[in-house]
Structure 1
Amino acid sequence: MNRDELVARVSRHVDRPKKELKKLVSAVFDEIQKAVVHGEEVSIVGFGKFKPMSRAARTGRDPNTNAVIQIPAGRRPGFLASQQFREKLSGASE
């Protein structure tokens, strides 16, 4: 599902114009992204938690030359699904 499909599905539940919902969905994603970039966790009860994750420096291989290279430490976005979300996904609570 992409952003437009998400907006279309949300519009079935909310009596608002799709144009307005598209702005709202974009604003929500933008704010989550900004918060995580600034080191904050965004916790949505019953859904999950978005948070910045750290990756340690490590050794890897260049796929073109097969040479050993050092991959620097870095940060990446992470998501941890809530227990309720995981149960729904596994079919435990429908």
Structure 2
Amino acid sequence: MSNIVYHLPDGTSSHIDVAPGQSVKDGSVNNNLVGIVAECGGNCSCGTCHVHLAKEYEGFFADVSDEEKEVLEFLDGVDDESRLACQLIVREFDINIHVRVADSR
């Protein structure tokens, strides 16, 4: 298992263990965290799982796809650390990753 630390918009943080093969979205949704809605079920089409992933963690995940870039174009608060949690698939054991959940208010 890898530990994902979700920094939520309200200033709190939650530590969730996520197995390889699962997404950062899965860890959040399966544990009922507020902030990652994933209306499309993880199909990279709605943008409701927008998170900010620090550059130091990029190497743990696949590069941003063209499809993901297109979805991100239509979201507010996008920066160079923006990713969709449904596209961040955990590939390794025993890593600690921090993501900042985008404020959708």
Please report the TM-score for the alignment, with normalisation by the length of structure 2: 0.19
Larger Rg: 1
More helix, by proportion: 1
Tell me which of the two structures has the higher relative contact order, counting C-alpha pairs closer than 8 angstroms and 6 or more residues apart: 2
Larger strand proportion of the pair:
1
